[in-house]
């Protein structure tokens, strides 16, 4: 049986597949010098708990057929999105794949807009035209939510290219921003990922590719689909890119490791590759019976729940007790319940929305474009011609 605690010297994924070699163990990044206030930790714990509660309610809503299509929940990986975001500045771009609700919430999207998007309602972040896999939030520099495995990795390189170009070529200063580009371990085998890594190394792009290595690309364990699955640093080394293994089931580890990588990428304008070891507690999507892994394996990882781990740490610091925890949980439950009520009450997009947002320029049946309510409420205006919303 593996342990999820890297400090015990055990490694993740020992139980998978027949031909794997023991995975290289994540080193510890959270050193004794790491000083984080209890208030900050409590806020991040709450962020993780919000994602958990939100995803549990998503699963219910999916069963109730309020959510259609595909739905990939983030339960188990909350420390990754929250920990990575905790290392960022507000102006840093972020882009991710289709398991994206957690990233959207961690980046600051309201539970209302996120839920309404999945309900296919006009109040959704993308007016109900994107769905579960396409969470976009311009105000919070979240550039999607992308559905094709690996397709977001060249986009991530491009976001970093653009911030660097703006900072250095247009403004004549030095590169200031860092892009986080998330991918699953399934994307490791896509050509787009390798091209993005090569271009990022070649052009000194300040982008951090975070491989949320949950051990499975859908139902295929990493050792059945990926060479060097036990040591992904080899992939980064091939492109001259620095890499780091992080225990993604431990918020402090994610925060500490990512803070190092972000600072370095910002200072040197260089890419990073992170092998973020984590585990999704639920299936790939809502229709996944999880026959490719054992209940025993799932229980092992569930015992190392990242929310429980941070909760325990805060209790050990005397910053959290049963009453606080219950109060926090109650508030979150109410927040998500309210988001669902709000999303339910939102109207569906009008039929006129069908021909809106196809082109910026109105022409023929196309009626131009406008920002969603989520952005309008914040007083944001598009840098291109906006038309009245239908």
Partner 1 sequence: MNHVTVESADPARMAAPEGGREIELRDALREAMSEEMRRDARVFLLGEEVAQYHGAYKVSRGMVDEFGERRIIDTPISESGFAGMAIGAAMLGLRPIVEFMSWSFSLVAADPILNNAPKMLYMSGGQFGCPIVFRGNDGAGGQLGSTHSWSVEGLYSNVPGVKIVIPSSPYDAKGLLKTAIRDDDPVFFLESERMLSVKGPVPEEEYLIPFGQAIVRRAGRDCTLASWGRPVNFCLEAAEQLAKEGIDCEVIDLRTIRPLDIDSVVRSVRRTNCCVVVDQSWSFGSPGSELAAQVHAACFDDLDNFVHRVHSADVPTPYASHLEQEYLPNVRRICEAVRHATYRA
User: Is 204 among the residues that bind partner 1 (CB under 8 A)?
Assistant: no
Residues 84, 114, 157, 254: which binds partner 1 (CB under 8 A)?
A: 157
Chosen residue from 15, 25, 228, 382 binding partner 1 by CB under 8 A: 382
SS (H, E, C) 84-96: HHHCCCCCCCEEE
Short-list 150, 145, 169, CA closest to 94: 145
Residue 100 lies near partner 1 (rule: CB under 8 A): no
17 and 221 Cβ atoms separated by less than 8 Å: yes
Site size toward partner 1, by CB under 8 A: 60
Residue from 128, 184, 186, 271 binding partner 1 (CB under 8 A): 128
Q: Return the residues of window 166-195 that contact partner 1 according to CB under 8 A.
A: 166, 168-170, 191-192, 195
> Mask: binding to partner 1, 219-248, rule CB under 8 A, as x and -?
------------------------------
Closest CA to 48 of 99, 12, 87, 85: 85
371 contributes a contact to partner 1 by CB under 8 A: yes
281 contacts 52 by C-beta, under 8 angstroms: no
**In contact, 123 and 346? CB cutoff 8 Å:** yes
Site membership for partner 1, residue 146 (CB under 8 A): yes
Does residue number 347 form part of the binding site for partner 1 (CB under 8 A)? no
Cβ 127 to partner 1 shortest distance, Å: 4
Contact with partner 1 (CB under 8 A) among 144, 184, 257, 283: 144
Q: Which of 125, 244, 249, 336 binds partner 1 (CB under 8 A)?
A: 125
What per-residue string of b and e applies to 232-271 under the rule 16 or more CB within 10 Å gives b?
A: bbebbeebebbbbbbbbbbbbbbbbbbbebbebbbeebbb
Q: Which is nearer to partner 1, 136 or 279 (CB)?
A: 136
Of 300, 323, 247, 313, residue with least CA distance to 278: 247
Q: Which stretch binds partner 1 (CB under 8 A): 42-50, 141-149, 213-221, 291-299?
A: 141-149
Alpha helices in the chain (DSSP H): 38-63, 78-86, 101-107, 111-118, 152-164, 191-202, 222-225, 233-238, 251-268, 295-302, 306-316, 322-345, 373-376
Q: How far is the CB of 187 from partner 1 (least distance, A)?
A: 12
Q: Please, which residue, 12 or 375, has the CB nearer to partner 1?
A: 375
- Residue 356 interacting with partner 1 (CB under 8 A): yes
**Backbone phi and psi for residue 210, each to the nearest 5 degrees, phi listed first:** -105, 105
Contact between 162 and partner 1 by CB under 8 A: the answer reads yes
Instruction: Among 26, 102, 154, 184, indicate the residue that binds partner 1 (CB under 8 A).
Output: 154
Comparison of 13 and 239: residue with beta carbon closer to partner 1: 239
Short-list 76, 79, 67, 80, CA closest to 115: 67
End-to-end CA distance of the chain: 57
Binding site for partner 1 (CB under 8 A): 93, 95, 124-130, 134, 136-138, 143-144, 146, 148, 151, 153-163, 165-166, 168-170, 191-192, 195-196, 198-199, 202, 356-361, 363-366, 369-372, 375, 382-385
């Amino acid at each position: 049986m593996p342990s999820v605690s890297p400090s015990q010297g055990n490694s993740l994924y020992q139980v998978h597949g027949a031909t794997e070699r023991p995975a290289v163990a994540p080193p510890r990044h959270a050193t004794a010098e790491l000083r984080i206030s209890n208030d900050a930790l409590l806020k991040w714990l709450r962020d993780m708990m919000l994602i958990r509660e939100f995803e549990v309610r998503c699963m219910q809503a999916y069963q109730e057929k309020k959510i259609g299509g595909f739905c990939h929940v983030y339960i188990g990986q909350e420390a990754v999105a929250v920990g990575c975001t905790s290392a960022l500045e507000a102006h840093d771009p972020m882009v991710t794949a289709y398991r994206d609700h957690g990233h959207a919430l961690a980046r600051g999207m309201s539970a209302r807009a996120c839920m309404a998007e999945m309900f296919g309602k006009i109040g959704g972040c993308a007016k109900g035209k994107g769905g579960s896999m396409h969470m976009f939030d311009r105000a919070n520099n979240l550039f999607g939510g992308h559905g094709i495995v690996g397709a977001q990795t060249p986009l991530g390189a491009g976001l970093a290219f653009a911030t660097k170009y703006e900072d250095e070529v247009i403004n004549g200063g030095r590169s200031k921003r860092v892009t986080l580009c998330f991918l699953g371990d399934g994307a490791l085998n896509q050509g787009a990922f390798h091209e993005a890594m090569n271009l990022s190394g070649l052009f000194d792009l300040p982008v951090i590719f975070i491989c949320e290595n949950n051990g499975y690309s859908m139902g295929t364990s990493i050792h059945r689909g990926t060479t060097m699955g036990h040591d992904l640093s080899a992939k980064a080394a091939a492109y001259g890119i620095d890499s780091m293994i992080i225990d993604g089931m431990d918020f402090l580890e994610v925060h500490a490791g990512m803070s190092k990588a972000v600072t370095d990428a910002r200072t040197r304008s260089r890419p990073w590759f992170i092998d973020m070891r984590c585990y999704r507690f639920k299936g790939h999507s809502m229709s996944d019976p999880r026959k490719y892994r054992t209940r025993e394996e799932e229980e092992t990882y569930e015992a190392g729940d990242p929310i429980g781990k941070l909760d325990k740490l805060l209790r050990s610091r005397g910053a959290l007790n049963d009453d606080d925890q219950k109060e926090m949980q109650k508030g979150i439950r109410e927040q998500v319940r309210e988001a669902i009520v709000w999303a339910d009450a939102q109207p569906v997009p009008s039929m006129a929305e069908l021909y809106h947002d196809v082109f910026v320029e109105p022409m023929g049946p196309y009626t131009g474009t406008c920002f969603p309510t989520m952005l309008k409420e914040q007083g944001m205006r598009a840098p291109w011609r906006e038309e009245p919303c239908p």
